[in-house]
Amino acid sequence: MAIGPLVTEIVCTFLLVLSLLYRYGDWPRHHLIVTLSVLVAWYFSFLIIFLIPLDSRRQLIDNVCKKTRHHFLLHSDEIIISNDTECREPWSYLPETAMPQIWRVVYWTSQFLTWLVLPLMQSYTKAGDFTVKGKLKSALVDNAIYYGSYLLIAGILLIYLAAQPNFHFDWPKLKAIAAGASNTWGLFWLVLLLGYGLVDIPRSLWRAADPTKSLTRLYFKASKLSIEKSDAEESLDDYLEILNGVMEKMELNDPQRPHVETIQQKVPVELHDKLTNRRINSSMNVDISEKSLIKLHRQLIKALQTHHRTETQWHNLVEKILEVEDVCRNIGSHDRNFKSSSETPQTGLAKYCMSNRVEWFWRCVFKLYLLKSLAGFLALVSALVVWSELTFFTMNPVLSLFAVFVNLAKQNYDYVSIEFVSIITIAYMCICAYSTVFKIRVLNLYYLAPHHQTDEYSLIFSGMMLCRLTPAMCLNFLGLIHMDSHVIKTRLMETYYTQIMGHMDVLPIISDGFNIYFPMAILALCLATYFSLGSRFLSIIGFQQFVGEDEITSDLVDEGRELIKREKRKRQRSDRGEERSHNDYNSNDNLDDMFVAAGSRSQTSSYFSQRNVVPSRNLFDDV
């Protein structure tokens, strides 16, 4: 027995999660408790993905050894020498006590985080109260309403079960009902998210391999995002105007003054000028009671989050559009030297290895073919997943392709291949499901942005979704490879995962026919995503989507193109202004030296006073 692979996976998973959280989070700005909670939620969710293959391999080895020993006992008279090769423990075989303890810690910690700690923390971050006690009270009230609906549904379910004949309540049955309810919730979301992601991920990569069409879609997205960005700025301006009115109306010795200063501290430095230089509307009716200040604080927090999200999305989108425009402009170049519109110097290894010619071949040739190849490969994996989802309830013959592969590898004792394919498949399913969460328009309050631009609210939400969906996803995968006895209706040695976390069971109310409508639901959502039925429906009811070459779509694409041109001109003016400002400072320093050298103090004083009164500024500072 060896714990080397287990320790290696635990450490590597922790380093992976740590690097991801560093990329998306902002450790100095975010609260330490939020960072640690999200780190644990992400870590345990990723740990489940990487430890499931180890647990599955242990179960396969135990089943093979059990069958071998049983065959040896039945035919012991005919066997002279026992061949122990089949059930020989590999070097990475885990101790029997290791996995159960790990699964218990992972399961109960993740459940505690996702159902209690993270929801309270999420409500706490958006609460407008000015004390810890007040924020906790608001968070408890907010979650009491949320969980009250769950308790109501649970009560109705228990009443329904109590009305059934020959049904008696006991602890094992209540535990099974709770596990079934959790699995039902997770599988319901899994159908929605997985059905969309299995089609959207390969299709997005395929579209990215066509720079021209990709640029058209990005222009359309820029036009829509610009509207949302303008709305966020207007909403923030309204709340800043109210805050400014409160500050002007309130006396210095007012008991509510510390609360107003707390609200003012929430405003970023770059928005302070907008707050202090605003003209006060004399007709504005301002309420300075504590209740109104709490409401204003909560609204301002939400407005700042929305403003920060849209600004980050806009910046990333503009950078992406400029990059794709460079590719479209250089793809037909005869000299095969990549000419970038950005003057930002390359850093790192690319500074020494990426010449203009190498960059042209990479971005205009190899990368496009690589994206198409990857899209084709992932489309094949998606087809395998969909087919296995449709057929994994069929036991005779075995039609699930993942189950067929596991059976073949088991016959050849190729457990390394089983572990490798399991990790790749589960990771791909998780990417398809989790990426969908942040693409749904209804959930646009949440956005994971790189370069430390993700807010606390989105990080907490991502941790909650990971903890809630990962167990159901892994149970679904164990069903795909026929390692869940409740799916295949056959007794076998269970994985420690199913022993601790339960099986792929649902509520008794919907258990009849589940093996029919669950696969059909995934297939229906995949077809709806492929034919863009959701986008077409939203366009019909007034929420314009990119569905074709209709007039509204063309107008939005043209508008997005003009917005990007305006953004490029704005950046060029800013760069020229910084350059002129730098030159002005250098010339001013030279003049200072000349005045001092000549001993002309009066001229120096006059010069400095003029420079303080009339500071150098750019032509478009007031625009």
Please write the tens of the pLDDT for every residue from 81-108.
444 445 555 555 566 677 888 888 888 8
Q: Judge whether 510 and 181 are in contact, CB under 8 Å.
A: no
> Mean pLDDT across the stretch 393-419?
83
In the 8-state DSSP scheme, what is residue 90? P
621, with CB counted inside 10 A (0-12, 13-18, 19+), is: exposed
Cα separations (Å) of 141 from 33, 138, 418, 465? Answer: 21, 5, 48, 22
Amino acid identity, residue 481?
I
Of 208-222, 377-391, 529-543, 574-588, least confident by mean pLDDT is 574-588
Of 275-284, 300-309, 387-396, 412-421, least confident by mean pLDDT is 275-284
pLDDT for the residue 73: 46
Cα separations (Å) of 133 from 37, 119, 520? Answer: 20, 17, 49
Residue 136 pLDDT greater than 70, yes or no: yes
125 part of a folded domain: no
Alpha helices, DSSP H, located in 209-338: 211-249, 257-266, 272-276, 290-330
Q: Judge whether 477 and 425 are in contact, CB under 8 Å.
A: yes
372 part of a folded domain: no
240 part of a folded domain: yes
> Mean pLDDT across the stretch 503-517?
60
Q: Judge whether 183 and 475 are in contact, CB under 8 Å.
A: yes
368 part of a folded domain: no
pLDDT for the residue 583: 64
User: What is the domain count for the chain?
Assistant: 2
Band the pLDDT of 211: cuts 50, 70, 90: very high
Q: Judge whether 286 and 246 are in contact, CB under 8 Å.
A: yes
Rounded CA separation 439/192 (Å): 12
pLDDT for the residue 383: 94
pLDDT for the residue 378: 94
444 part of a folded domain: no
Rounded CA separation 351/335 (Å): 21
Q: What are phi and psi of 345, to 5 degrees?
A: -70, 150
Residue 454 pLDDT greater than 90, yes or no: no
Q: Which domain holds residue 276?
A: 212-336
Band the pLDDT of 148: cuts 50, 70, 90: confident
Rounded CA separation 433/519 (Å): 16
Q: Judge whether 201 and 377 are in contact, CB under 8 Å.
A: no
Residue at token pair 């949302």: 228
pLDDT for the residue 334: 81
For the chain, the distance separating the N- and C-terminal CA atoms, rounded to the nearest angstrom, is 71
CB hemisphere CA count around 251 (13 angstroms): 3
pLDDT for the residue 80: 40
pLDDT for the residue 501: 72
Q: Judge whether 350 and 358 are in contact, CB under 8 Å.
A: no
CB hemisphere CA count around 212 (13 angstroms): 3
Q: What angle do CA 157, 187, 139 make, to 5 degrees?
A: 70
162 part of a folded domain: no
114 part of a folded domain: no
Q: Judge whether 483 and 495 are in contact, CB under 8 Å.
A: yes
Amino acid identity, residue 282?
S
Residue 562 pLDDT greater than 90, yes or no: yes
The structure tokens listed for 292 are 């109104």
Most confident of 362-371, 385-394, 614-623: 362-371
Residue at token pair 């007034």: 542
Q: What is the CA radius of gyration of the chain?
A: 31
The structure tokens listed for 364 are 């205009």
Residue 201 pLDDT greater than 60, yes or no: yes
Of 177-191, 469-483, 564-578, 591-605, least confident by mean pLDDT is 591-605
Residue 71 pLDDT greater than 50, yes or no: no
Q: Which of 307, 336, 365 is the last residue of a domain?
A: 336
CB hemisphere CA count around 8 (13 angstroms): 7
Q: Which of 281, 301, 336 is the last residue of a domain?
A: 336
pLDDT for the residue 610: 38
Cis before 211? omega within 30: no
Instruction: Record the pTM.
Output: 0.80
Q: Which of 289, 315, 336 is the last residue of a domain?
A: 336
Q: Judge whether 209 and 226 are in contact, CB under 8 Å.
A: no
Q: Which residue has the higher pLDDT, 575 or 247?
A: 247
Letter string b/e over residues 230-239, b meaning 16 or more CB atoms within 10 A of that residue's CB: eebbebbbeb
pLDDT for the residue 565: 92
Rounded CA separation 92/495 (Å): 16
Each residue of 285-294: pLDDT tens digit? 777 888 899 9
SS (H, E, C) 115-178: HHHHHHHHHHHHCCCCCHHHHHHHHHHHHHHHHHHHHHHHHHHHHHHHCCCCCCCCHHHHHHHH
22 part of a folded domain: no
Residue 206 pLDDT greater than 90, yes or no: yes
Report the percent of the chain where pLDDT is more than 70. 76
The structure tokens listed for 534 are 């959701």
Cα separations (Å) of 83 from 72, 86, 105, 121, 410? Answer: 10, 7, 38, 58, 17
Amino acid identity, residue 456?
E
Q: Judge whether 64 and 493 are in contact, CB under 8 Å.
A: no
Q: What is the mean pLDDT of the chain?
A: 78
